[in-house]
Amino acid sequence: MSASTSASTSGAASASAVTADDLVLHHYAGSPFAEKARLMLGLKGLAWHSVTVPMILPKPDVAALTGGYRRTPFLQIGADIYCDTTLIAEVLEGRRPTPSLFPAAVAGQARLLSQWAGTDLFWTALPYAMQPAGAAAMFAGAPPEVLQAFVADRKAMTEGMPQPRGGDAGAALSQYLEWLSSMLTGGRDWLLGHAPSIADLSVYHPLWFVAKAGPLAEILAPHEALRAWMARVAGIGHGERAGKLDGAAAIALAQASTPKPALVEEGLGFARGDRVTVAPSDYARDAVAGELVGLSNDTVTLARDDERAGRVHVHFPRIRYVLRKAA
Ligand SMILES: N[C@@H](CCC(=O)N[C@@H](CS)C(=O)NCC(=O)O)C(=O)O
């Protein structure tokens, strides 16, 4: 790794140098999963550089780094690209183990609750909040074409994916809010006890989105303990924003860096060097193609040679991702 390599942030909003070992979060302000990642950085008190990515396709600078994975956020460390907040959590935990996102006594529950929050809870909160009154509040002040383009993009992205609508989403969300509130009784400050964990950050971000949904945010009103907990989670903050980069500077950073070595474990049906694709199994199922350089039951890593970014390693979790040999 060329750890001393630095790429200038020329053209970016604030001038600072970024090195191949720095954390670079690619995100946008209104993204709930990005809010989860920002809070992870906050809990750990880490410094990071920020790249704002587009909310909708096309995303050419994102594709140069990820190979076509379009979801938000992703984390860049030099020429290593980590997709999905599940994996980003593990990377940040490795970088700074305390305070832990997975406190030992509740690690299993925290991971499972986090997974539920990122799937069922999120895909209930989102359609609930994006009903017309909520969408109007969130896109207030923007030209109508912006909302139309957003809705069309998300419709294409989630094609074929079952989602509750209207009253069904409201009913399910009401139930979930009650269940979550019941976890905060008896003087508990955090969902799983007396310390925050990944579960708090994962459950928080769909509700953070609901809280922005104008009149629809009223669904949170009866849940006083939950609202107090939301304020506690928000108080964790976002860590230290060390600077801003534009997409070109992030690509230049990857180009000037060397990806970290990875390992393909034996007995998993694949060999190092196999041509493979990886795609999310649920939505935004764009496949990333590359050469297999890392594989375990936790993660899969593809090497790609990109015209602009050079050789990059793109890492994904194994859960909810489909790994296939390329045709
Ligand atoms: N499982 C992914 C989900 C990420 C996700 O769905 N993010 C939303 C934004 S909150 C997204 O990618 N929307 C489409 C986009 O940004 O292009 C994770 O944990 O990172």
Digit-coded pLDDT (tens) for 43-89: 999 999 999 999 999 999 999 999 999 999 999 999 999 999 999 99
Does the N-terminal peptide bond of residue 73 adopt cis geometry, omega within 30 degrees of 0? yes
Specify whether 206 is located in the same domain as 270: no
Specify whether 259 is located in the same domain as 147: no
Is 59 part of a structural domain of the chain?
Answer: yes
Atom 15 of ligand 1, nearest CA residue: 71
**Residue 281: other Cβ atoms inside 10 A:** 9
Is 38 part of a structural domain of the chain?
Answer: yes
Q: Specify the ligand 1 atom closest to the Cα of 72.
A: 12
> Which pLDDT belongs to residue 187?
85
Read off the CATH number of the domain in which 201 is found: 1.20.1050.10
> Which pLDDT belongs to residue 204?
99
Look at residue 26 and give its three-state secondary structure: strand
Q: State the Cα–Cα distance between residues 311 and 324, nearest whole angstrom.
A: 21
Specify whether 72 is located in the same domain as 173: no
The last residue of a domain, from among 235, 253, 283: 235
Specify whether 210 is located in the same domain as 112: yes
Q: In this structure, which long-range contacts are made by residues 221-224, counting pairs with CB atoms below 8 Å and at least 24 apart in sequence?
A: 223/177, 223/178, 223/180, 223/181
Instruction: Output the pTM of the full model.
Output: 0.95
Q: How far is the CA of 99 from the centre of ligand 1 (A)?
A: 25
**At which residue do the structure tokens 């969902």 appear?**
191
Mean pLDDT by 10 residues, the chain (327 residues): 40 63 98 98 98 98 98 98 99 98 97 98 98 97 96 97 95 98 94 96 98 98 98 98 97 98 98 98 97 98 98 98 96
Q: Is the CB of 86 under 6 A from ligand 1?
A: yes
Q: CB–CB of 278/316 below 8 Å?
A: yes
Specify whether 220 is located in the same domain as 262: no
Specify whether 211 is located in the same domain as 121: yes
Q: CB–CB of 67/164 below 8 Å?
A: no
Read off the CATH number of the domain in which 295 is found: 3.40.30.110
Q: Calculate what percentage of the chain has a pLDDT beyond 70.
A: 95
Q: Can you give the residue range of the structural domain that contains 78? A: 6-98+239-325
Is 223 part of a structural domain of the chain?
Answer: yes
Tokens of 67: 């190979």
Specify whether 270 is located in the same domain as 151: no
Specify whether 146 is located in the same domain as 229: yes
Note the pLDDT tens digit of each residue in 279-299: 999 999 999 999 999 999 999
Is 1 part of a structural domain of the chain?
Answer: no
Q: State the Cα–Cα distance between residues 235 and 233, nearest whole angstrom.
A: 5
Specify whether 43 is located in the same domain as 131: no
Which residues make beta-bridge pairs with 51? 26, 245
Q: Is the CB of 127 under 6 A from ligand 1?
A: no
The last residue of a domain, from among 235, 253, 281: 235
Is 143 part of a structural domain of the chain?
Answer: yes
> Which pLDDT belongs to residue 327?
83
Q: Specify the ligand 1 atom closest to the Cα of 122.
A: 6
- The length of the chain is 327
Amino acid at 321: Y
Atom 12 of ligand 1, nearest CA residue: 71
Specify whether 247 is located in the same domain as 146: no
Specify whether 13 is located in the same domain as 32: yes
> Which pLDDT belongs to residue 16?
55
Is 185 part of a structural domain of the chain?
Answer: yes
Look at residue 28 and give its three-state secondary structure: coil
Q: Is the CB of 70 under 6 A from ligand 1?
A: yes
Burial of 312 (0-12, 13-18, 19+ CB in 10 A): buried
Q: State the Cα–Cα distance between residues 135 and 212, nearest whole angstrom.
A: 9
Q: Calculate what percentage of the chain has a pLDDT beyond 90.
A: 94
- Comparing C-alpha atoms, which of 191, 319, 310, 199 is closest to residue 253? 310
Q: State the Cα–Cα distance between residues 271 and 265, nearest whole angstrom.
A: 8
Q: Specify the ligand 1 atom closest to the Cα of 71.
A: 12
**Which residue out of 72, 83, 322 has the highest number of ligand 1 atoms within 8 Å of its CB and is therefore the one to mutate?**
72
Specify whether 255 is located in the same domain as 152: no
Is 182 part of a structural domain of the chain?
Answer: yes
Q: How far is the CA of 243 from the centre of ligand 1 (A)?
A: 23
> Which pLDDT belongs to residue 129?
98
The last residue of a domain, from among 235, 269, 289: 235
- Comparing C-alpha atoms, which of 310, 312, 280, 314 is closest to residue 295? 314
Q: How many structural domains are present in the chain?
A: 2
Is 81 part of a structural domain of the chain?
Answer: yes
Look at residue 323 and give its three-state secondary structure: strand
Sign of the dihedral defined by the CA atoms of residues 164, 165, 167, 173, in that order = positive
